[in-house]
Structure 1
Amino acid sequence: MTNSAACHRDRLVAIVVHHKSYDSIKATVELLLDDGIAEARVVVVDNGEEPGRQDELTSMLPAGVHLLFEKNRGYGAAVNRGVEYADSLGAPYDYVLVSTHECRVEMGAVPTLVAALDRNTDAAIVGPTLISGEANQFIWSAGGFLTPTLRLPRHYFHRATELPPLADAEVEREWLDGAFLVTRRSALRECAVDERFFMYMEEVDHHVALRNRGWKIMWIPSARVWQSSGGIPPYYLGRNMQLFQRWNGTAVSRLAATPWSIAHRALSDVRHGKGLNSVAGMIKGWNDSRRVMDAADGEVVIVNPLGGALAHYERELTDVIHSVGHGTTTLSAYEPSHNGGSRLGWILTYLRLLLRSRLIRNRHATVVLWPVLGYLDAVLTRLLAGSKAFVVLHDPSPLVRSVGYDRLSVGLARLLGGGRFIIHGEAAEDVTKLSSIESTTLPHPVLSPIRRRGKRSDHRVVRVLGQYKADRDLVALEEIATSFADEGIDFEILGRGWPLVKGWNVTDVFLSEQDFDDAVDSASVVVIPYSKFFQSGVAIRCFERGTPVVGVGGTSLDELVAEDCQLLVGPSYSTSWSEAVKYALDLKDPAGLSESNAVRLASVAGWNRWLGSLS
């Protein structure tokens, strides 16, 4: 393996969509492995629905490759399912490679595409030069464009024997062929592949949608991948052409593009003596396109003014919203502590984001992830973002003095806010009721649980993660360290502002998203030493990743630990913090998958009901 291949092993997941191509799938996967992708990061999604050949397919693939057998809901569904499964494995990654079952990657193509995404941080997707043909090879696609009037998708240099001399630089395109792509994971979270196309043209629709959000789509000429294609079946050409025009076309193209394509095919078939069977298929597809429903639910606009601190919460909420069938558009800004900017500049940026959210077409709702000005945000969002805007109030009674939580602000929110706030949990609900603030209680968004592989490490580490605040129970932490002083356990605190704590190694650090996940994954137990809190994002993150948490009972942690109530401290729970930590260290399966799925499903169901109520 080359050095360039080695550098992307831990940053990329490959999704191979397989449909009854048993002669080619083995070579496709092996060539990806040869180009530097680890077996454990390859997911083959088989939608052939041939139970009798599942063992045969399994035997063709290396043992470390993941193989999913799914119902055939089309290419887009296979891609989305593969990404969901990759997320559930728990290994972090930046990029998603998507390949169809017959592609043969040339050595060096994968690291070349990854390097291109590294260089072009505003690019969502990069793709190679696609080659086809056996003895006499030719260019299948060098990216694509839409014709000016009818917006018909066309390939650059289609069927040319070689590229023009100057076609050697990275070039922005309107769309790329979906046979082989490398996509930024964050772009897929923002905009998933539309499954309504079933197969063909969904990549054109997806890339147009990403470009409309400000992303670039780029062709990388030096990366080369061979593929075979029989073209688009007439039925799906007629059906999906009309769907694409309906959702992305102009008044002219919506009316004329598909009829023109049908007429062009009819003339071509007559000229070549092929009959009109393909034309009949196109007409049937065109007619059937009327049965495909528009995305009447519309976009949910997520405004995140704490792009650093709430990056994971944003990911959780985006994932839940996508799971209930809504698209999302995310508008975010980094807080001053993250980017060194001024507080005034940050507030002004936030106000501009609220205004922008109101202008997004087909908006279903706007969800603001943090109230920058406390209870005053109920009034601000209504004025700037409109009646469809809501604010997540994580902490209705903050521990530290903050702007917008005084009596006047609460009174204005009560008088003019009109039920703008979303809260998580009974404790938060009690506070808002006490202030007569109208709010909606929804489950904290939760990612699908991770399927852990292998046994837990014998090296035991107990950690506390996150920033120090006045409610942190230092006495409890000292009790834990003292109780296990002679047992070879490492006690670590990772976070900003912590004082020295007896028996603990304190590191004053802000953890990046990746570092936080690594700290959770390598911990035997994470302690939540809070005496007052509404929801613990740290605890939920540990829950998602299968790491046990210890905290106070009779709080929002109860629903996470389910029957493992000995993980919590208090009456009817463990009698001491050290007892709860010991119980956690002795657990063999810290998070039963069925219980984890139940919490995830409850989260999805709650948000689905609420979004449905806004229609």
Structure 2
Amino acid sequence: MTAWAELAPGDVSVIVPHYGDPALAEVLVDELRGQPGGADLEIIVVDDCSPEPFPPSTAARVFRRARNGGFGSAVNSGVALATKRLLLILNSDLVLPPSFVENLLRAAAPWQPAVAGPALVDLHGTAQMSGRHFPRTSHYAVEWLRPLARWRNRSALHEAVGHDTRCVPGTTAVTDWLVGAALLVPTELYREVGGLDERFFMYCEETDLQRKLRDHGIPSVYLGDVTVAHEGGASSDSGRRLSWLLTSRFLYARTWGTGAGSMRVALVAASLVNFAFGGLRRLLGKPEQPMTTLRRELSTVHDSAREAKRRSARPRTNVTKQVQP
């Protein structure tokens, strides 16, 4: 028997970042309190300087940041307040099934210490492929190619863009990294590696964290017998999300030496293929504007690469150095 043999809600600090409409986060907090053992959870809602503040609550501790810093900053601020030995990091746009926390802890216990996460599905029950391979330039280039979009649900294409196709509901697998919408992480280990790197405003911060933990011998485990519904993209528009995503991918490549320059070349090449594809569709009478699309794609690639270079000059954030609020 190890110290991790039995886990209970009283071992868990739940961190819920909030930005935007507080209704989703309020529902999530109520769902957490309604879980078996929910009264024992330490629930911390971090308001990331939202235009619509999270209201005072008797069900959770609410901490409002002085400025908006993104997902990593919000989570780190919550971890600075956490007192339990496990962190359960949850997006506010989750819909929790009954007994979710107990089921997740039961499934995760044999693997501890580890990063553990449930199967994520959309609101219609479709799996979101939340187990991933560590990123490669080829993943991003294939994902950028519009001509392949019609085959995006095929297994080979899922693998080609970095999805670990072993990770489907009903299975358990050790994978490279898990999407950060719902993650269970030992608190001490999270702090030991410095937490989420706040240079990533949004996206890739959980990949970076799990790569740091993997270097310390800590695996990431997909627990497909536990499922949670995830709406996704509830607090931002698609244009900003694409910019944040690409900037974070370039920053990740710079941080881990996986080829930011080659990534830029590959995305430009993929954009040219998209241009040719759009031109052909226009000749066939489809409503395409290939030159406008090409300019937009190239601008996004180059602007994101420059912003990532700027951010990479900053020191990594270390959550252990944050002052307890």
Could you say which residue in structure 2 is the equivalent of 1:189?
191
CA RMSD after TM alignment? 3.1
Q: Which amino acid aligns with 1:236?
A: W
Assess if the C-alpha contact under 8 Å between 1:150 and 1:256 holds in 2: no
Question: Where in structure 2 are there 5+ consecutive unaligned residues?
Answer: 1-5, 141-160, 282-287
1:215 lines up with 2:203 in the alignment: no
Assess if the C-alpha contact under 8 Å between 1:193 and 1:203 holds in 2: yes
Assess if the C-alpha contact under 8 Å between 1:75 and 1:199 holds in 2: yes
More RCO (CA 8 Å, sep 6+): 2
Alpha-carbon offset, residue 151 of structure 1: 6.5
Alpha-carbon offset, residue 40 of structure 1: 6.2
Assess if the C-alpha contact under 8 Å between 1:175 and 1:204 holds in 2: yes
Between Structure 1 and Structure 2, how many residues are aligned?
279
Could you say which residue in structure 2 is the equivalent of 1:254?
260
Alpha-carbon offset, residue 46 of structure 1: 1.0
Spell out the pairing of 1:154-165 with structure 2 (5 A cutoff): 154-157=162-165, 163=168
Assess if the C-alpha contact under 8 Å between 1:238 and 1:284 holds in 2: no
TM-score, with normalisation over the residues of structure 1? 0.41
1:235–1:448 Cα change, 3 Å:
closer
Distance in structure 2 (CA, Å) of the matches to 1:15 and 1:148: 30
Alpha-carbon offset, residue 268 of structure 1: 4.5
Spell out the pairing of 1:521-600 with structure 2 (5 A cutoff): none
Distance in structure 2 (CA, Å) of the matches to 1:7 and 1:207: 22
1:141 lines up with 2:143 in the alignment: no
Alpha-carbon offset, residue 278 of structure 1: 4.7
Could you say which residue in structure 2 is the equivalent of 1:49?
50
Could you say which residue in structure 2 is the equivalent of 1:176?
178
Alpha-carbon offset, residue 148 of structure 1: 5.8
Alpha-carbon offset, residue 285 of structure 1: 1.2
Identity %: 22
1:65–1:247 Cα change, 3 Å:
same
1:111 lines up with 2:102 in the alignment: yes
Could you say which residue in structure 2 is the equivalent of 1:21?
21
Alpha-carbon offset, residue 220 of structure 1: 0.2
Distance in structure 2 (CA, Å) of the matches to 1:296 and 1:22: 32
Distance in structure 2 (CA, Å) of the matches to 1:9 and 1:296: 35
Bigger Rg over Cα: 1
Distance in structure 1 (CA, Å) of the matches to 2:243 and 2:111: 37
Alpha-carbon offset, residue 122 of structure 1: 4.0
Could you say which residue in structure 1 is the equivalent of 2:310?
291
Distance in structure 2 (CA, Å) of the matches to 1:116 and 1:17: 24
Distance in structure 1 (CA, Å) of the matches to 2:76 and 2:183: 14
Q: What is the DSSP-based 3-state SS (H/G/I as helix, E as strand, rest coil) of the residue aligned with 1:112?
A: helix
TM-score, with normalisation over the residues of structure 2? 0.75
Could you say which residue in structure 2 is the equivalent of 1:79?
75
Q: What is the DSSP-based 3-state SS (H/G/I as helix, E as strand, rest coil) of the residue aligned with 1:24?
A: helix
Could you say which residue in structure 1 is the equivalent of 2:321?
323
Could you say which residue in structure 1 is the equivalent of 2:249?
241
Assess if the C-alpha contact under 8 Å between 2:11 and 2:41 holds in 1: no
Q: Which amino acid aligns with 1:218?
A: V
Spell out the pairing of 1:110-509 with structure 2 (5 A cutoff): 110-123=101-114, 125-132=115-122, 134=123, 136-146=124-134, 150=138, 152=140, 154-157=162-165, 163=168, 168-191=170-193, 192-230=195-233, 233-250=241-258, 253-264=259-270, 267-268=273-274, 271=278, 273=288, 275-276=293-294, 277-294=296-313, 322-323=320-321, 448=324
Q: What is the DSSP-based 3-state SS (H/G/I as helix, E as strand, rest coil) of the residue aligned with 1:155?
A: coil
Q: What is the DSSP-based 3-state SS (H/G/I as helix, E as strand, rest coil) of the residue aligned with 1:178?
A: coil
Question: Where in structure 1 are there 5+ consecutive unaligned residues?
Answer: 1-5, 88-92, 299-317, 325-446, 450-615
Could you say which residue in structure 1 is the equivalent of 2:85?
94
Alpha-carbon offset, residue 226 of structure 1: 1.0
